[in-house]
Amino acid sequence: MYGRGRLADLIDFQVDPDAMRHWRVDYDGAVATLWMDVDETAGLFDGYALKLNSYDLGVDIELADVVQRMRFEHHEVRVVVMRSARDRVFCAGANIRMLGGASHAHKVNFCKFTNETRNTFEAALEDSDQNYICAIQGSCAGGGYELALACNHIMLTDDSTSAVALPEVPLLAVLPGTGGLTRVTDKRRVRRDRADVFCSLEEGVRGRRALEWGLVDEVFPNASFDQRVAERAQALADASGTDTPTRGITLNPLDRSFADDGVTYSTVRVAVDRPARRAVVTILGPQEAAPADMSDAHAQGDRTWMLRCARELDDAILHLRSNEDEIGLIEFQTAGDPLAVAAHEAVFRDAGDHWLAREVMHYWKRVLKRVDMTSRSLAAIVEHGSCYTGVLAELLWAADRSYMMLDAFDDDDRPLASVTLTAANFGSFPMGNGLSRLETRFLGVPEQIDVLRQRIGEALEGEDAEDLGLVTWAFDDIDWEDEVRLFREERASFSPDAMTGMEANLRFAGPETMETKIFGRLTAWQNWIFQRPNAVGPEGALQRYGSGLRGQYNMQRV
């Protein structure tokens, strides 16, 4: 059963771009062609071959890295054309042998990461003016079509071997795990009855019918397909009209070291206490002066604190998700100078439409969303000497609870704990529901947002922060240790299943969007279905796949 290991077999989310096994990119000015060419012998685990351009988590880790580098290292790209390097197959979707042998936790984390990756390139047009086209020749099934659905424009060849399909329900007794159902109805706006037919057909839909039903945007014969794809890509690139600089920045390997009890980065420390089922993630504020301007920030490249910290926190969250599946509580702590955090953030926040400033701020948006989507209890601990300012203060409202030190503590000479709001807290980092975390927090009292705007820049200590609703509790020296200890012990005693369900429901108040549907409604159902014997039992569809026998189902409707 695939899952987490220890130091020898950790799942690593960092990629050497010169050693990728599954993707390659051809750059031609404003147009890049992203070729899917999966090495079937290079699965993340033993026991399956990645045939027919099927994928596992390792394939998607590489894809996420390509998408990230496209924004920072090749931001001159305006159009990305996603294609298959294989003959007569675009992508067969998630590898079924992998899913059949994977632990439940790995399946769920795999689906969550693939969803986040598709959301990233789906949002690239709005965030980075990079438009993704999917050019399909050959079979495009399941997760392969979900790759296409996350693109903004889908082109399909009209021949006897090319089709789009979401066959998970009839073939595997599960749901399309990467947002396929939601994107068919909410993004492609396919009529409900046609969507019902489409999701019930193992063989999928071809050519003109796929176009008529809105499953694709254009259909062309093979003879003219390459030319039409090139013309469409160039037309979209020309229509962009964005004046971009010519030099991006390089994303170098992270500065990190692993030990059995945690991970150390340059700005992040992860300490794991497995007997207590708890991990403490401490974010260190900047030690160096803020860049003088964006030219200086560009010269610093990936070493500037705002980008370095985002990358390291992102990696730390992914590490805890996939390699520490019995950790039930993640505590966030910060340490440093609040004014230094504010100064670094201001350089990027106030830089207008500078491409690097935009990309760094959008990256923080994605990292914070990843925190929101992490199925662990989240707590923020505001001790003396902390630096919950601006972007780091968002962790207070991403957490399920927050505890703050009140007044001076005996034998503690650190600066008093405080929370400092900046302009970025009022819309720079929206959640999946489209609202800021403060708007979501104060959904019942929206007038509180205007009250908080008047306090931007103030170092709000314990009593003020609690009165304003910015933290859950503030305790003095007498009560602090006992209250925090009781919270930790209580959380560790609850059912992990109940905690996951409760927290996921409470975190996303407010409007429902395509993103909240994918991560909330769809993921919740998939989580349940992945545990049902109809899918994963000895005679379930996932286990019998490829044997010539169909799954044996308990036909009771629940």
Does 257-497 match 22-240 at the fold level? yes
Specify the pLDDT at position 5. Answer: 43
For residue 512, pLDDT over 70 is answered with: yes
In terms of DSSP bridges, do strands 268-273 and 262-265 run parallel, antiparallel, or are they unpaired?
antiparallel
Mean pLDDT to the nearest integer, 253-261 = 95
User: Whole-angstrom Cα distance, residue 53 to residue 2?
Assistant: 20
The per-residue pLDDT for 342 is 98
Q: Which residues touch 447 (CB under 8 Å, ≥6 apart)?
A: none
Backbone angles phi, psi at 342, to 5 degrees: -60, -40
Q: What is the per-residue pLDDT for 243?
A: 62
Residue from 282, 300, 302 nearest 290 by CA: 300
3-state secondary structure of 89: strand
Give the residue from 526, 515, 391 showing the smallest Cα distance to 116: 515
pLDDT tens-digit readout, 421-477 = 999 999 999 999 999 999 999 999 999 999 999 999 999 999 999 999 999 999 999
Q: What's the predicted TM-score (pTM) here?
A: 0.95
Mapped onto helix, strand or coil, the DSSP state of residue 157 is strand
Identify the band that residue 4 occupies on the pLDDT scale cut at 50, 70 and 90: very low
Does 524 have pLDDT greater than 80? no
Does the pLDDT at position 177 exceed 90? Answer: no
Q: Which residues contact 3 (CB under 8 A, 6 or more apart)?
A: 102, 103, 105, 106, 325
In the numeric block, the tokens 């706006």 are attached to 189
pLDDT of residue 471: 98
CA–CA gap between residue 128 and residue 113 (Å, rounded): 21
**Would you give the end-to-end CA distance of the chain in angstroms?**
28
Q: Domain extents for the chain?
A: 22-240, 257-497
Q: How far is CA 126 from CA 33, 119, 130, 351, 409, in A?
A: 20, 12, 8, 18, 47
- Chain-centre distance for alpha carbon 238: 30
Residues above pLDDT 70, as percent of the chain:
98
Contacts 24+ apart (CB under 8 A), 408-414: 408/384, 408/477, 409/384, 409/476, 409/477, 409/480, 410/477, 412/384, 414/383, 414/384, 414/385
| Whole-number Å distance between alpha carbons of 499 and 255 | 33
Q: What is the pLDDT of residue 518?
A: 87
Query: Count of residues for the chain?
Result: 558
**Annotation: CATH topology of 257-497:** 2-enoyl-CoA Hydratase; Chain A, domain 1 (3.90.226)
Contact assessment for residue 551 and residue 534, using Cβ atoms and an 8 Å cutoff: yes
How many Å separate Cα 157 from the centre of its chain? 31
Choose the CATH number for 22-240 among 3.40.50.300, 3.30.70.560, 3.10.50.40, 3.90.226.10: 3.90.226.10
Say what the pLDDT of residue 353 is.
87
- Report whether 340 contacts 390 (CB < 8 A): no
Band (7; pLDDT cuts 50, 70, 90): low
Identify the H or E element spanning 179: none
Instruction: Report the chain's mean pLDDT, rounded to a whole number.
Output: 93
What's the Rg (C-alpha) of the chain? 24
Strand, coil or helix: 213: coil
